[in-house]
Amino acid sequence: MIPRERTGETPAPAAPTAPAAPAARTARGGEEPRIDPLGARRAHGDPDCDVYLTGTVFLDIIFTGLATAPVRGTESWARGMGSSPGGVANMASALARLGLRTSLSAAFGDDHYGEYCWDALAHGEGIDLSRSRTVPGWHSPVTVSMAYEGERTMVSHGHEAPPPEGALPECPPRARAAVASLTPGRRQEWIATAAANGARLFADVGWDDTGVWDLGALADLEHCEAFLPNAAEAMRYTRTDCPRAAARALTEHVPVAVVTLGSDGAYAVDGRTGETAQVPAIAVEALDPTGAGDVFMAGFITGTLADWPLADRLAFGGLTAALSVQEFGGSLSAPGWDEVAAWWNYAQNDGGQDPDGLRRYAFLSSLLPAPA
């Protein structure tokens, strides 16, 4: 059994470092996950779907090994490249690799890009695409990402997909949880429907290009259980100058506020109980931050649905994000339980690890099988 975290402020011990990225991942389509984090909580009559998502799938083409940022008027050569589904597929892949039954509703082009993304998600990751559709004659959105010096530059192209023709399966489906990307000034009908059907809503938000930063414009936040902005977004929306103060202010609008702090980790407040937690980031050599926020959110959702203590949820989200930034690409880099187990085995057996930092991740011992 996972030990319960005591209520109140959680200290933030020094975090251990992460090892180099583990071996390349293998396709997961059609395979049962090695670990089911919700196994002990599954019962007859539960939803077939653990997490529902909807959004735009991009084909991501990632150039790696650039010495510097591209310079105007010159040609740059990359030492490596890869491709994978991106956009909302980053989150969907991260959830599926952690053993959650994931359903995605998205449009796919009928071109080679769309076929590749569909196959990678449905067969490579085992994601349910029964609520997705192929749009004849529609060009798949594409993003080219160039990674260098721990940063990235992206160029995207795409057109909005036409509305679906004919009936699709029930959308959203009955699910344990759903992920909502909020848009200022716009309601999304499916969010209220999902909440009414019993789904727990986890929300993120993009940068407000209007500069207004009005929490009242995030109308669908009222249906959400948790809101996970970064520090800059949280402080702007709450008119505060401190991430901790911003998190506390956000709990006037949503039960759980999680503010990600980049290299400083994450801070969270549960407004229902008054519990707070802060967990430092794990020190890593970051190669590409693409999708790290999606991976963090997937880890936090996993811990929440498994009923872990708040601090453990933060720690797990931070760990999965740290493992992801050591590899290139969004969905390409999302870790599964094999990568989590490899890190935990490394952290426990490396003599240079800080004991206090390791204790923060002791909950992993009850989740992971003993090493062979």
pLDDT digits over 82-114, tens only? 899 999 999 999 999 999 999 999 999 999 999
Mean pLDDT of 259-275: 94
Strand ranges, E, within 74-149: 80-87, 102-105, 107-109, 133-135, 142-148
Write down the pLDDT at residue 17.
61
Tokens found for residue 70? 């591209």
Q: How many residues does the chain have?
A: 372
Tokens found for residue 72? 């105007």
Write down the pLDDT at residue 353.
67
> What are the two backbone dihedrals, phi and then psi, of residue 112, each rounded to the nearest 5 degrees?
-65, -35
Residue 165 burial (CB count, 10 A): 9
pLDDT digits over 191-200, tens only? 999 999 999 9
Least confident range of 51-60, 198-207, 270-279, 353-362: 353-362
Measure the CA–CA gap between 258 and 235, rounded to whole angstroms.
Answer: 12
Global pTM value: 0.89
Q: What is the dihedral of CA 313, 318, 323, 328, to 10 degrees?
A: 120
Write down the pLDDT at residue 21.
40
CB 182 within 8 A of CB 204: yes
pLDDT digits over 41-77, tens only? 999 999 999 999 999 999 999 888 888 888 899 998 9
Measure the CA–CA gap between 69 and 60, rounded to whole angstroms.
Answer: 18
